[in-house]
C-alpha cells in the first residue's frame, strides 16, 4: 500500500490495486474494497477489467448495507456497459447481494423480490441456482421447512453441477437425517465431502455426519468420520468434542485400549468439568476391560482432582472404586470409601444412602461368614 501512496499514477501498480480490492472484499472490509476498486477502475484502460472492478465496487456497497448508493451505481453501471456480454451476469450478481442483505435483516418480502428478479429476468445466468437456494433458505428461516426442502430437491435435480450444490446437499443431508432417512443423508454428505470445491464447509458437514451416524446406531461410521475430522482439523474449536465422541464410540463398542488413548488425548484439550469426565471414563474403560487394580487407581485420580462439578464425578468415581475393590476381594478398603462418601454427602443424599447400604451389606455378609465358621 505504501507504494500506491508514493506513486499513485504508476500504471505498473494496477495489478496490486486489483488484488487489494479483491482482498478487502474477501476480508469483509467493504468500504476499503469499494475505494480500491473504484481507484483501480479509474486508471484501467481495458474495458473488461474495468467492468470487473466496477462490479466488485458495487458488490462491496451492497455488502456494506449502502443500498441506496449501490442501487444508483448499479443503474449507472447498466447504462455504461449496456453492450457488454456479461452485463446480465453482473446485474444478477447485484440482485443476489441485495437479496442476501435483506435476508440478513429478516426483510423476507424484499429479499424474495430481489431473488425472483434473478429467477425471472436473469434466469439464464449462473446466479439463478443461487437465487433459488437463497429463497429456500428464507423459507426455512420463516418456519416453512417442507416447502424449502421441496425446492432444494428440485434444485439438486435441475443443477447438479452448480457450485451452490455443496450447500444444497449439506442442507438436504441434514433434512434427511432429521426425518430418519439416514441412507439418503449419508449420500448427500458424501457428495459434499467427495468434492474439494466444497472444502470450506467440510468441518460442518463432517460434524453433522458424525451426529447422524450415531443417531442411526452406525458407530463404525461415526468413528471413521470423527477420525477424518481430527486428521483434517486437529486445531478446530470442535476438536475436543469430536475426540470425546470418538473415545466414547470406542468405549461403547468395546475397543477399550483405543478409547483410553483417545480420552487421554482429549484431556490435553479439556477444561472445567470435561477434565474429570475424561479421567472417569479412562477408569471405567479399564474396569470394563478387566484391569481392575489400574481402574481403582484411575478412579481415585478423579477423586483427588477435587474439582467441583455438576455431575459429581469425584463421588461417582469413589463409589465405583469401592465396587471394584469388592471384586478384588478387598472389602475393608471398599467400606472405607463408602464411609467417606457418607461423611461427605450425608445420609440424606442419594449417594450417601447408597454408600451406607453397601457398608451395611458388607458388614452383614462378614457377620454371616463369621457365624457360619463357628
pLDDT in tens, 77-103: 999 999 999 999 999 999 999 999 999
Q: At what angle do helices 274-288 and 292-305 cross, to 10 degrees?
A: 170
> Residues 150, 137: contact at Cβ < 8 Å?
no
CB 266 within 8 Å of CB 247: yes
Measured in whole angstroms, how far is the alpha carbon of residue 101 from the centre of its chain? 24
CB 33 within 8 A of CB 24: yes
pTM confidence score: 0.73
Q: Is the pLDDT of residue 317 over 90?
A: yes
Which DSSP state fits 125? S
Question: What local confidence, expressed as pLDDT, does residue 13 receive?
Answer: 77
- Indicate if the pLDDT at residue 155 is higher than 50: yes
Give the span between the Cα atoms of 166 and 160, in whole angstroms: 10
* Surface-to-core class of residue 300, CB atoms within 10 Å of its CB (0-12 exposed, 13-18 middle, 19+ buried): middle
**Whole-angstrom Cα distance, residue 366 to residue 317?**
25
Q: Which residue has the higher pLDDT, 307 or 300?
A: 300
H-helix or E-strand containing 307? none
Using one digit for the tens of pLDDT, what is the confidence trace for 105-115? 999 999 999 99
* Mean pLDDT lowest among 5-9, 228-232, 332-336, 353-357: 5-9
The per-residue pLDDT for range 179-188, each reduced to its tens digit, is 999 999 999 9
**Extents of the domains making up the chain:** 163-269, 296-374
- Residue 114 backbone phi and psi in degrees, to 5: -65, -45
Task: Give yes or no for residue 308 having a pLDDT over 90.
Answer: no
Alpha-carbon span 320 to 302, nearest angstrom: 11
Residue 231 CB-density burial (10 A; 0-12 exposed, 13-18 middle, 19+ buried)? exposed
Give per-residue pLDDT as tens, 55-80: 999 999 999 999 999 999 999 999 99
- The dihedral sign for the CA sequence 295, 297, 301, 303: positive
Q: How far apart are CA 327 and CA 241, in angstroms?
A: 33
Average pLDDT value for residue range 254-281: 93
Mean pLDDT across the chain:
92
Closest CA to 149 of 178, 128, 122, 124: 178
Confidence of residue 121 (pLDDT cuts 50, 70, 90): very high
Hey, what's the cell of 95? 440482485
> Residue 93: which residues within 8 A CB-CB, separation 6 or more?
55, 59, 127
- The residue behind cell 417442507 is 146
Tell me the CATH number for domain 163-269: 1.25.40.10
Q: What grid cell was written down for 82?
A: 449496456
CB 302 within 8 A of CB 278: no
Let me know: does 281 contact 263? Beta carbons within 8 Å. yes
Over residues 274-278, the mean pLDDT reads 93
State the pLDDT confidence band at 372, using cuts at 50, 70 and 90: low
Residue environment code for 14-36, b if the CB has 16+ CB neighbours within 10 A, otherwise e: beebbebbbebbeeebbebbbbb
* pLDDT reading at 10 higher than 60: no
Amino acid at each position: 500500500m505504501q507504494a500506491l501512496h508514493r506513486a499513485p499514477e504508476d500504471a505498473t501498480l494496477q495489478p496490486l490495486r486489483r488484488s487489494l480490492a479483491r482482498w478487502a472484499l474477501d476480508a469483509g472490509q467493504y468500504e476499503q474494497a469499494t475505494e480500491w476498486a473504484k481507484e483501480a477502475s479509474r486508471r484501467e484502460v481495458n474495458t473488461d477489467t474495468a467492468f470487473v472492478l466496477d462490479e466488485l465496487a458495487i458488490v462491496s456497497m451492497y455488502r456494506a448495507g449502502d443500498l441506496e448508493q449501490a442501487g444508483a451505481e448499479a443503474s449507472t453501471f447498466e447504462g455504461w456497459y449496456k453492450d457488454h456480454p456479461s452485463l446480465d451476469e453482473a446485474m444478477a450478481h447485484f440482485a443476489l447481494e441485495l437479496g442476501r442483505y435483506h435476508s440478513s435483516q429478516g426483510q423476507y418480502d424484499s429479499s424474495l423480490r430481489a431473488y425472483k428478479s434473478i429467477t425471472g429476468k436473469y434466469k439464464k445466468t449462473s446466479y439463478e441456482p443461487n437465487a433459488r437456494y437463497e429463497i429456500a433458505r428464507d423459507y426455512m428461516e420463516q418456519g416453512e421447512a417442507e416447502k424449502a426442502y421441496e425446492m432444494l430437491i428440485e434444485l439438486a435435480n435441475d443443477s447438479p453441477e452448480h457450485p451452490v450444490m455443496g450447500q444444497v446437499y449439506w442442507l438436504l443431508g441434514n433434512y434427511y437425517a432429521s426425518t430418519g432417512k439416514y441412507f439418503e443423508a449419508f449420500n448427500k454428505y458424501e457428495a459434499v465431502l467427495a468434492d474439494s470445491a466444497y472444502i470450506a464447509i467440510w468441518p460442518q458437514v463432517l460434524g453433522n455426519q458424525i451426529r447422524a451416524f450415531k443417531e442411526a446406531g452406525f458407530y463404525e461410521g461415526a468413528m471413521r468420520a470423527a477420525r477424518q475430522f481430527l486428521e483434517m482439523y486437529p486445531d478446530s474449536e470442535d476438536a475436543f468434542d469430536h475426540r470425546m465422541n470418538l473415545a466414547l464410540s470406542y468405549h461403547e463398542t468395546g475397543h477399550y485400549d483405543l478409547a483410553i488413548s483417545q480420552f487421554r488425548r482429549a484431556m490435553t484439550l479439556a477444561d472445567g468439568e470435561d477434565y474429570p469426565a475424561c479421567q472417569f471414563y479412562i477408569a471405567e474403560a479399564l474396569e470394563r476391560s478387566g484391569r481392575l487394580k489400574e481402574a481403582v487407581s484411575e478412579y481415585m485420580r478423579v477423586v483427588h482432582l477435587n474439582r467441583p462439578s455438576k455431575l459429581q464425578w469425584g463421588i461417582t468415581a469413589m463409589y465405583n472404586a469401592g465396587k471394584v475393590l469388592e471384586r478384588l476381594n478387598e472389602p475393608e478398603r471398599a467400606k472405607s470409601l463408602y464411609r467417606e462418601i457418607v461423611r461427605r454427602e450425608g445420609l440424606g443424599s442419594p449417594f450417601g444412602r447408597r454408600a451406607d447400604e453397601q457398608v451395611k451389606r458388607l458388614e452383614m455378609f462378614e457377620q454371616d461368614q463369621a457365624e457360619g465358621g463357628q
